[in-house]
Structure 1
Amino acid sequence: MNWPGGMQRLLKLLRQQHSELREQLELGCEELKEHFQRNSKLAESSKRLKSQIWSSVVTILLVKAKDLPLAEDGSKLGDTHFKFRLGNEKYKTKSSWTERWLEQFDLHLFDEDQSLELALWNRNTLFGKANIDLSVFQRENTHGIWKPLEDCSGEVFLMLTISGTTALETISDLKAFKEDPRETQQLRDRYRFLRSLQNLRDVGHLTVKVFGATGLAAADIGGKSDPFCVLELGNARLQTQTEYKTLTPSWNKIFTFNVKDITQVLEVTVYDEDRDHRVEFLGKLVIPLLRIKSGVKRWYTLKDKNLCVRAKGNSPQIQLELIVVWNEVRAVCRALQPKEEKLIQQEAKFKRQLFLRNVNRLKEVIMDILEAARYVQSCFEWESPVRSSIAFVLWIVACVYGDLETVPLVLLLIILKKWLIRLITGTTDANAGHYDYEYDEDDDDDKEKEEKKSIKERLQAIQEVSQTVQNTIGYLASLAESTINTFNFSVPELTWLAVVLLLGAIFVLHFVPLRWLLLFWGFMKFSRRILRPNTIPNNELLDFLSRVPDNEEINQFRELPPSAATDQARNNPKKKLKGS
């Protein structure tokens, strides 16, 4: 078929445009394909993050820094903060001018993201950065790290823990764990009496087997929870994986802790995990190491945040097996040294109920002292002839034959009396740790947030003073209660340690003249800074008393029965707690 010349040119032009359009479409498809390939890793990571499929949880405690760079005028940087990055997750700390943060947070670790990035910022200026390779750190263990910064001077100290492992066949998987009798024997040999002086800082070893929990409260809309368990011993913090959509989780994990102080307590807390990585409290339990019955698998009742009544839920409990091995000589040496500082502590805000409770605690101690003074005065007044006669004879004997060793002897006799009462009755002081508790709801402090700022500014100074008075009264009450509980066998091991120390004091005071003791004491106090410049000034008596729990801690340590007889106590928090 013969086409006119114009039609042939038009047909040729259409073919050329079709060929160019086809080439453009093919090029666009290739570019789109390359775009998806470049972002496939980011899309996959984002998808995994949304579905919460991570391999471990990295807990970071930012403690402090040193030798940080100075400002242009030679002064300290006034608005320094750190930014952390792990994979697609970021965290920005608060600003600090003291080079001390004490801030704790969690990041989620994927198998392909093993590099933790941190950067030092002052306002909007980057001063230094560093990278930490997480693959070299042992899992289920807390590591203290001094990390130097790049591009500037300075080091940062942080405590890092990789736990919450979801992968099976890990070192913390209880199902894959098989106890080796040889390792168990080696562990016991490490803390036997004949090796007491080899490593005084290594007091003991704690093994915690976390099986599961039951009766937890429903934190989600569907009537379920996403619980995980956190274990804390001092500044060491480990956690289990999250079990989703259940009120009876089975974690089946085994963890180990190095015990630096046998008077420490193990804190076990159960949280609910939300999709925005926030947590909701489900229950808590504190177990003193000295009260652990090694190798006993049992259920423990979970308590509320105040550790006084049962937590919400259907009699929530957690199943644990605890094994602790420790050396007595090292524990005694550690008990007379400064207590380890707990870096992360919830700041005590001023509350009317807490203020009144501390006042009542101090009032009860003062009333006991006044009662003892009245008892002594009654002996002088001969209100009871028999009692006054005995007191008069004892006073004459003390004045004639008494010496400095009489003072610890009297204290020893008081402990002996308490021990005989405990031996005969099988109980300790019935009044220890009994209080009427009134609780504020968690949101009570936030109800007045919309008040006028001028009123807040007026009350701020009063609140600061009241908070100081409250905490001071609480400290004095706690110190007095710890002193009383030393004689009450609240912690039998510490009371027996006091007995040994008092016997030693009697022996020393009897055979060594007082002037030589005072000379030795003065020499030790004046030469301590010269001989040991890095030593921490301390008072051995106060260090020992800090290990003895006060009445509130005794009440928190008290275990609740496995099942609740009635929900009345939980519904009526003002009801007085009775001792078990």
Structure 2
Amino acid sequence: MESENNKIDVPSRYSVDSTDSSGGSPVIQRNKNRLSNLWRSRSLRHSKKNSVSILEAIPSVENLDTQSNGTVSTDVSYAVEKLKKKDIKDTIVTIVLVEAKGLPSPPDDGTTHGLFCKMRLGSRTFKSKMATNIKLPEWKEKFEIRLSKDHLLRMSLWDKGRQKNFMGSCVLDLSGLSKDRTHEIWQQLDDGYGSVHLSITMCNIHNNVITSYSSVEESDHVKEKKYTLRNLGSDWNIIGQLHVKVTCAKGLPGKPNAYCTLEVDNQRVQTHSARTSGDPSWEKSYVFDIYDISSTLDLKVYDSSLNQIRNESLGRVSIPLLRISNRTLQWYALKDRTKRHSAKGNCPRVLLDMSIFWNPVKATVRLFQPKEVKYLKKPPKFDLGLVHSNMEFIRDTFQVLYDTNENFKRLFEWDNQELSFVALLGWLFFWYNITLWGMPLVCLLPFLYHWAYRRNQTEKSFRHVYKPVDDKTDISDVEKDDNKAITLGKIQGLPEMTLKITSGVEYMVSLAERMYNLVTFKVPFLSYLAMLFLLISSMALYCIPFNYMMMAFGIYKFTRKYLDPGRKLNNDLLDFISRIPDNDILRDWKELSVPEPMQNQNSKTKMPVFRSFSAS
């Protein structure tokens, strides 16, 4: 019998249930020598005492599963927890403090009051600017904060007058908000009256493994059924959904750490930064709620490299929602800041896969309501070149109006007798035969003309194109001649006056361009909709007396304020016209061609050099 010293005490999790040929107890032989603990395979083959197979010393699968289950689950949970912490660290929360309403009146202490907001997320604290309108304060200010572990955004409103007065506070839990979506939230104040309007977006700036998708993506058939004509529902603010997949980009200059931002009205999301490459890949999908079918998708590409003090813009493109084709992979050429020329690089472009689902009835009703205004806008800049170009713009505009007036005078003064006679006959014939129900039909004539010949018609523009003022242009002599008799007070009021005059004139020109673009089917959906309204108006005027219709129109106008006391003052017709793009917007929408990138052939074929050797 073998001695007990030659036996090995095998741990329980490495125990083996096996017997030898003689029916003895399950043991594993070992050598007295300490080197035998290495379990060399050669010594096992040539030693009779160590005849037990190596496989017998390996734990069985069942024992590993039962005995190491706790260890494996602990390791997995630790890894998941580590990824979650990294996901929280790499998440940026973008908060836009928009406005507040229903706040109590501040004390009347004879001083001007200002309302500001304090926000805290984790250890970061921010303070907004002052809002002078206490009843309906507006800030429209953006803050970017890294997501904290507690996910609690604490806010407090303060009134600053002669003394600092507390107006109310609230706590918002961000853990219930889905990522890569913009959430419009009206948060009620806990310690006071009123509520605060916030626009919150959480985006991951790194491509982590963990995703936060809570549900399986719906199929295209389900989405189309959700926004059919019959399925109107109760929510008339959201008219549809836009699904965008940002696949990749090619031809970017250098090897940037590129990332994209996508905006639809006040909804803004951001992709993660791709690795340093001229052809970055993102493969990110986003969903936008559509509130206005005439809106655009603005995509911008930036470089977030370490050597960039500010993120450099690599290109941008504006895509109108009405021009999106469902489930179509399409390349879009990137433009520069002016959106008129191609961006820098080797034909820079981005690949998008988009689908849009919307309800035409809700979209039509929404077109006659006030248009959503962007929260964040860049203020207009003032410089001498702007003054010079604006003065030229005003001068040429009034010159056109003067020439038009003179032409009408000549028409009525019978300078050209044949033209005046034809105009007189046409005027008399028109007003003798025209009826009220026929006036919408007359307005349909330009639509029918451009609908029949729109493919062969060349684009026209009402706006005069001016050359930009060169920075090197010396206008000091012009200023000396024009501003000799102008006082300092008038010079200080010149920027505001110029901006007002230019904005007024540009508004009139923009209206004319929008009406022309409506008739020329620049946006076919709006043009067909206008034709439908003109036909309905013609039938209504034919069936209903004009005076009754005007009475109903007056009742509608006078009772709107009584039926909806909180409505915004607007003009239905101007709200519809504001959805039609003018020529500047059409230039922003114009798609650049996406040719194949050209390869520089710098290497030229060299002629072989032959040397002659003379025999010595």
Letter aligned with residue 214 of structure 1: K
Mapping for residues 411-490 of structure 1, pairs under 5 Å: 411-423=443-455, 425=456, 427-431=457-461, 435-436=465-466, 438=468, 459-490=491-522
Question: What's 1:38 paired with?
Answer: none
Report how many residues are paired.
490
Tell me which of 201, 220, 224 is aligned to 1:188. 224
- Give the distance between the partners of 1:154 and 1:199, measured in 2 at CA: 24
Tell me which of 100, 107, 120 is aligned to 1:85. 120
Q: Which has the higher contact order (CA 8 A, sep 6+)?
A: 1
Alignment of 1:170 onto 2:211: yes
Mapping for residues 186-335 of structure 1, pairs under 5 Å: 186-196=222-232, 199-217=235-253, 224-273=255-304, 278-335=310-367
Alignment of 1:502 onto 2:558: no
| Mapped contact 1:140–1:172 kept (Cα < 8 A) | no
Question: What's 1:141 paired with?
Answer: 181
> Are the structure 2 counterparts of residues 546 and 366 from structure 1 closer, same or farther at C-alpha, using a change threshold of 3 Å?
farther
Q: Could you tell me how far 1:403 is from its partner in structure 2? A: 1.3
Q: Deviations over 1:487-519 (max 9, x none)?
A: 121111111111111111211222221211111
Higher helix share: 1
- Give the distance between the partners of 2:593 and 2:316, measured in 1 at CA: 15
Q: Could you tell me how far 1:282 is from its partner in structure 2? A: 2.4
- Give the distance between the partners of 1:465 and 1:396, measured in 2 at CA: 44
Secondary structure of the equivalent of 1:509?
Answer: helix
| Mapped contact 1:362–1:473 kept (Cα < 8 A) | no
- Give the distance between the partners of 1:178 and 1:436, measured in 2 at CA: 53
Structure 2 unaligned segments of length 5 or more: list them: 1-82, 472-486, 599-616
Q: Could you tell me how far 1:172 is from its partner in structure 2? A: 7.0
Tell me which of 117, 126, 132 is aligned to 1:97. 132
Secondary structure of the equivalent of 2:297?
Answer: strand
- Give the distance between the partners of 1:440 and 1:315, measured in 2 at CA: 28
Which of the two has higher C-alpha Rg? 2
Question: What's 2:524 paired with?
Answer: 492
Q: Deviations over 1:38-70 (max 9, x none)?
A: xxxxxxxxxx9xx99933221111011234465
Alignment of 1:115 onto 2:152: yes
| Mapped contact 1:209–1:254 kept (Cα < 8 A) | yes
Tell me which of 176, 195, 218 is aligned to 1:155. 195
| Mapped contact 1:70–1:77 kept (Cα < 8 A) | no
- Give the distance between the partners of 2:126 and 2:420, measured in 1 at CA: 71
Alignment of 1:57 onto 2:92: yes
- Give the distance between the partners of 1:421 and 1:359, measured in 2 at CA: 35
Letter aligned with residue 283 of structure 2: N
Alignment of 1:561 onto 2:602: no
Secondary structure of the equivalent of 1:314?
Answer: coil
Secondary structure of the equivalent of 1:269?
Answer: strand
Letter aligned with residue 272 of structure 2: Q
Letter aligned with residue 535 of structure 2: L
- Give the distance between the partners of 1:368 and 1:410, measured in 2 at CA: 25
Question: What's 2:435 paired with?
Answer: 403
Q: Could you tell me how far 1:298 is from its partner in structure 2? A: 1.5
Q: Could you tell me how far 1:102 is from its partner in structure 2? A: 0.5
Q: Deviations over 1:471-502 (max 9, x none)?
A: 22222221221122111211111111111111
Secondary structure of the equivalent of 2:256?
Answer: coil
| Mapped contact 2:251–2:347 kept (Cα < 8 A) | yes
- Give the distance between the partners of 2:345 and 2:365, measured in 1 at CA: 43
**Quick check: 129-138 or 393-402, which moved more?**
393-402
Structure 1 unaligned segments of length 5 or more: list them: 1-47, 219-223, 442-454, 567-580
Q: Could you tell me how far 1:456 is from its partner in structure 2? A: 9.4
- Give the distance between the partners of 2:404 and 2:529, measured in 1 at CA: 28
Tell me which of 544, 553, 559 is aligned to 1:521. 553
- Give the distance between the partners of 2:469 and 2:525, measured in 1 at CA: 33
Letter aligned with residue 438 of structure 1: P
- Give the distance between the partners of 1:362 and 1:252, measured in 2 at CA: 52
| Mapped contact 2:334–2:350 kept (Cα < 8 A) | yes
Secondary structure of the equivalent of 2:251?
Answer: strand
| Mapped contact 1:229–1:271 kept (Cα < 8 A) | yes
Q: Return the TM-score normalized by structure 2.
A: 0.70
Q: Deviations over 1:267-315 (max 9, x none)?
A: 1122233669953322221111111122111211122222222223333
Question: What's 1:543 paired with?
Answer: 575
Secondary structure of the equivalent of 1:329?
Answer: helix
Identical-residue share of aligned pairs (%): 32
**Quick check: 303-312 or 255-264, which moved more?**
303-312
- Give the distance between the partners of 1:565 and 1:437, measured in 2 at CA: 31
- Give the distance between the partners of 1:373 and 1:495, measured in 2 at CA: 33
| Mapped contact 1:84–1:116 kept (Cα < 8 A) | yes
- Give the distance between the partners of 1:172 and 1:247, measured in 2 at CA: 30
